[in-house]
Amino acid sequence: MTELEQRLIMELGDNFPIDSRPFAVIGQRLGMTEEEVIARVKEFIDRGVIRRLSVALRQQHVGFTANAMVMWQVPAERLAEIGRTLASFPEVTHCYERETLPDWPYNLYTMVHRPRREECLAIAERLSRAVGVGEYKVLFSKQELKRSNPQYFSEERE
């Protein structure tokens, strides 16, 4: 990658500008036009350099202070089906398959964010009924210790 491409990747992975034209702001930082930034992002996607461009919402800043990880015990033969179904619910922000352990049978994990714990519990119950899985547990976050964007290139060059 060229140095400009690396700098663009770093800008795209940083806190996205809150602006009606964020690609123009990024372009100004890099000495590019808005059109050049958009064209380069499309090229990155076409080449498979990036899969998608998305923005992560800091849920606490919009009132979602209850963060629930719902852990499901799903029969292996139904894992893909149930995973797709749970992932299709708009309330589910993450859906992952994980290995089980001898004393930990949960193999599917979903995340739900809401203003109150009771809402998360009600959603988990509704999801349970929808997929026919009654074996689940809900864990709530107590404190966010770290959240950061991945850094693919450092500012310092060797």
* For the chain, domain boundaries: 3-47, 59-140
Residue 103: φ, ψ to 5°: -110, 20
Q: What CATH number labels 59-140?
A: 3.30.70.3460
Q: Residue 79: its pLDDT value, please?
A: 97
Sequential DSSP letters for 59-78: GGGGT--EEEEEEE---GGG
In this predicted structure, what is the pLDDT of residue 157? Answer: 43
Query: Dihedral sign, CA of 95, 78, 88, 127?
Result: negative
Could you tell me the pTM of the whole model? 0.64
Contact between residue 128 and residue 71 where contact means Cβ atoms under 8 Å apart: no
pLDDT confidence of residue 85: 98
Given a contact cutoff of 8 angstroms between Cβ atoms, the answer to whether 105 and 42 are in contact is: no
User: Coil, strand, or helix at residue 32?
Assistant: coil
Q: Which residue stretches of the chain have pLDDT < 50?
A: 157-158
